[in-house]
Amino acid sequence: MKLTYLSGVAVAALALSACEGFPLDFLSVADEATVVETPEVAVKPVKPTAPTLVDTQAYLDEAEARLGEMSEYAARVFWNQATNITFDTNWLAAKAGAEYTVLAVEYANGTKQFEGLLLPDDMARKIQILRSGITIPAPSTAGAAEELSQITTGLDATYSTGTFNYNGEDLTLDQLSTIIETSRDPAELQAVWEGWRTVSPPMKDNYARMVEIANQGANELGFDNLADMWLSNYDMPPEDMRVEVNRLWGQVEPLYEELHCYVRAELNDEYGDGVQPASGPIRADLLGNMWAQQWSGIYPLVAPPAADPGYDLTERLEAQGYDAIKMIETGEAFFSSLGFDPLPDTFWERSQITRPRDREVVCHASAWDLDDQDDVRIKMCTEVNSEDFYTVHHELGHNYYQRAYKDQSFLYKSGANDGFHEAIGDFIGLSITPDYLKAIGLIDEVPPAEADLGLLMTTALDKIAFLPFAVTVDSWRWGVLDGTTPPEQYNQSWWETRTKYQGIVAPGPRPDNAFDPGAKYHIPGNTPYLRYFLSYVMQFQFHKAACEQAGWEGPLHRCSIYGNEEVGANFRAMMEMGASQPWPDALEAFTGTRQMDGSAIIEYFDPLMTYLEEENAGRTCGW
Ligand code: X8Z
Ligand code: ZN
């Protein structure tokens, strides 16, 4: 048996995870079987009679049992709030959230008694998970958890019920987003883009107060600040993880710069110098998405000539009479084709699939696991279009992962790291190729090889454009959480970070009270965002490994693993591990490599990169 000396550092995360639905997102970290130095944190010395292994095991058993029980209760309260936002459901959610945080903080603090002990790996890992498993930790001061929980519930509700009155009509985010995606009128785009950002200024003071309290919570658990606590969930010291993120970003940045350069030139052609100059950053409202995070909405403006794939997925779904249920059934059938069990009846009975007409809900898509067993559900406001077709697969990926690791013990019911959780469904989405669409009858003709550039361009507009956005969100937030960025600089820092990584700017000057980060769900929702960056890297690694296992010999973007039970079994084996092992072990189990690596993305988009470089020849790229 390997043994680990327990460090005093708290590591892992018990998250109020909006995208995986429920609050508990224990992520693992322990350095496997190494002697970890006790850091300089103010903790109680080990009692004269140090706890035995039996004491430690008893402590962990009790923690898992009590947290497990309370998590189901809290999940059901949160589900009620998210699918019916009222004064009372907010009140109940704030109360349940505070109770859960108090319990989790108690168990996290209690682990200090085991510091310095030589423990079996499994126990050391669980203790570390327990210690840092809280995304927004409260200090143990009386009333702190309650105040924190009221703030977080309020931020979430403010975002989810936000509307903007445009041309005399109160429009919701989905309606405003459709305008941003389809309108080509710069004045209208700017009005709607600015309009949605009027929902967030009232959040700013509460957000700043939340940061203050949560940092006290992080300090109490032995972290310098909450950013370090979040970054401690990756089986390596936080500073190493920052280096890792920079390394991965460096691998894919050249591809983004070519895409940016090409898209800017096309927008300049479309709108002229007065709206989009041929040099400098791109105007954020012209990119077909409310946050300029995925750009496929402007594919028609930037499509390479003579590379038309010959179909538009949204049109095909409509033409074939798909509704939201049929889209989900199609996603389920993909997982079934890989050998996964069908979704339980309760999934269909209890999920929220479309926006209810009669009440306020959190529309941002999420997947839930209510009882840590079979009560899995999605909560979406699904519309019949290509974007939501992919989102359905994304959400189902969370649910299938939750079911795969349901036999793990409570603290291991989680992704190998949070990026894995986000990558499962997107990995399946990469297999939605023309061959697959033909196989399920959505298209009649598979486009020829000449259409590859068009196919790759659509995917790149979503996947490559997203990478610097994901880096932006948490770079900004780490600065806020570690105190580098004080509240009076929140908005300025947001735009500096946006321009630095994405090369975009706001369409006009921002008002003094603007709090633009608050207009992106994951900021008021307190969902860490690094997970998506990691997911976008790893999903291509998964795809490449899967296609190799399937013996695929063509270009990666034409490979679909639909119907391949052997690949399905291999993937499921990784999913079943949950968080029971350090993430490099899980990655290795499926891909044979222990490192996250951007080279699979580079390989996938290689033909597009060649095209972009040719098109950009003679242009001055960058901003
Ligand atoms: O939030 C989500 C999912 C739920 S975890 C719908 N995503 C990020 C976003 O919308 O900003 C998926 C892609 C990135
Ligand atoms: Zn997700």
Backbone angles phi, psi at 5, to 5 degrees: -75, 130
Domain for residue 623, yes or no? no
Residue of 392, 394, 402, 520 to mutate, ligand 1, most atoms within 8 A of C-beta: 394
Active-site annotation holds for 395 = yes
Measured in Å, residue 549 CA sits from the centre of ligand 2 at 26
Domain for residue 343, yes or no? yes
pLDDT, tens digit, 9 for 90 and up, residues 547-589:
999 999 999 999 999 999 999 999 999 999 999 999 999 999 9
Q: Which amino acid is at 585?
A: D
Same domain, 151 and 46: yes
Whether the CB-CB separation of 499 and 290 falls below 8 Å is answered with no
- Ligand with an atom nearest the CA of residue 388: 1
Same domain, 206 and 336: no
pLDDT, tens digit, 9 for 90 and up, residues 347-378:
999 999 999 999 999 999 999 999 999 999 99
Query: Rg (Cα) of the chain, in Å, rounded?
Result: 24
Question: What was the pLDDT predicted at 133?
Answer: 80
Residue of 16, 19, 25, 382 to mutate, ligand 1, most atoms within 8 A of C-beta: 19
pLDDT, tens digit, 9 for 90 and up, residues 516-555:
999 999 999 999 999 999 999 999 999 999 999 999 999 9
- How far is C-alpha 406 from the geometric centre of its chain's CA atoms? 21
User: Closest ligand 1 atom, CA of 520?
Assistant: 11
SS3 at position 448? coil
Question: What was the pLDDT predicted at 277?
Answer: 98
Measured in Å, residue 155 CA sits from the centre of ligand 1 at 18
Residue nearest to atom 8 of ligand 1 (CA): 532
Domain for residue 407, yes or no? yes
pLDDT, tens digit, 9 for 90 and up, residues 150-188:
999 999 999 999 999 999 999 999 999 999 999 999 999
User: Closest ligand 1 atom, CA of 366?
Assistant: 4
Measured in Å, residue 136 CA sits from the centre of ligand 1 at 19
Same domain, 218 and 317: no
What DSSP letter does each residue of 173-189 carry, written as one string?
HHHHHHHHHH---HHHH
Question: What was the pLDDT predicted at 37?
Answer: 33
Taking the model in full, what pTM does it have? 0.94
Question: What was the pLDDT predicted at 48?
Answer: 60
Same domain, 209 and 323: no
- Ligand with an atom nearest the CA of residue 390: 1
User: Closest ligand 1 atom, CA of 18?
Assistant: 5
- How far is C-alpha 395 from the geometric centre of its chain's CA atoms? 11
Q: Which amino acid is at 550?
A: A
What is the Cα–Cα distance from 330 to 439, expressed in whole angstroms? 12
Whether the CB-CB separation of 477 and 469 falls below 8 Å is answered with no
Same domain, 215 and 332: no
Same domain, 343 and 208: no
Whether the CB-CB separation of 604 and 254 falls below 8 Å is answered with no
User: Closest ligand 1 atom, CA of 466?
Assistant: 14
User: Closest ligand 1 atom, CA of 422?
Assistant: 5
What is the Cα–Cα distance from 434 to 361, expressed in whole angstroms? 35
Domain that holds residue 398: 313-446+530-592
User: Closest ligand 1 atom, CA of 391?
Assistant: 6
Q: Considering 394, 398, 421, 522, which one is annotated as catalytic?
A: 522
Residue nearest to atom 5 of ligand 1 (CA): 19
- What's the longest Cα–Cα distance across the chain? 78
Active-site annotation holds for 422 = no
Instruction: Find the DSSP H helices in 405-451.
Output: 418-429, 434-439
Domain for residue 358, yes or no? yes
pLDDT exceeds cutoff 70 at 13: no
pLDDT, tens digit, 9 for 90 and up, residues 81-138:
999 999 999 999 999 999 999 999 999 999 999 999 999 999 999 999 999 889 999 9
Residue nearest to atom 2 of ligand 1 (CA): 19
Question: What was the pLDDT predicted at 24?
Answer: 37
Domain for residue 232, yes or no? no
310: how many CB neighbours lie within 10 A of its CB?
13
Beta-carbon contacts of residue 448 (< 8 Å; ≥ 6 apart)? none
- Ligand with an atom nearest the CA of residue 382: 1
Percent of the chain with pLDDT over 70: 92
For the chain, how many residues are written? 623
Measured in Å, residue 80 CA sits from the centre of ligand 1 at 21
What is the Cα–Cα distance from 1 to 121, expressed in whole angstroms? 8
Percent of the chain with pLDDT over 90: 91
Measured in Å, residue 506 CA sits from the centre of ligand 1 at 22
Torsion sign (Cα): 290, 606, 334, 326? positive
As for how many domains the chain has, the answer is 2
Same domain, 214 and 93: yes
pLDDT, tens digit, 9 for 90 and up, residues 391-419:
999 999 999 999 999 999 999 999 999 99
Same domain, 215 and 318: no
Measured in Å, residue 426 CA sits from the centre of ligand 2 at 9
Domain for residue 195, yes or no? no
Domain for residue 372, yes or no? yes
What is the Cα–Cα distance from 285 to 423, expressed in whole angstroms? 27
What is the Cα–Cα distance from 245 to 417, expressed in whole angstroms? 14
Question: Which residues make beta-bridge pairs with 379?
Answer: 352, 366
pLDDT exceeds cutoff 50 at 622: yes
Residue of 422, 467, 530 to mutate, ligand 1, most atoms within 8 A of C-beta: 422
DSSP 76: H
Same domain, 212 and 332: no
Residue nearest to atom 6 of ligand 1 (CA): 365
DSSP 368: E
- Which residue from 154, 145, 147, 121 is spatially nearest to 31, judged by alpha carbons? 121
Measured in Å, residue 535 CA sits from the centre of ligand 2 at 9
pLDDT, tens digit, 9 for 90 and up, residues 26-83:
322 223 222 223 334 444 444 568 899 999 999 999 999 999 999 999 999 999 999 9
Same domain, 318 and 218: no
Same domain, 397 and 540: yes
Same domain, 438 and 551: yes
Question: What was the pLDDT predicted at 11?
Answer: 26
Q: Considering 64, 258, 332, 395, which one is annotated as catalytic?
A: 395
Question: Which residues make beta-bridge pairs with 378?
Answer: 367
Question: What was the pLDDT predicted at 20?
Answer: 65
Using a 6 Å CB cutoff, which residues line ligand 1?
19, 293, 365-366, 391, 394, 532
pLDDT exceeds cutoff 90 at 267: yes
Measured in Å, residue 18 CA sits from the centre of ligand 1 at 10
Domain for residue 466, yes or no? no
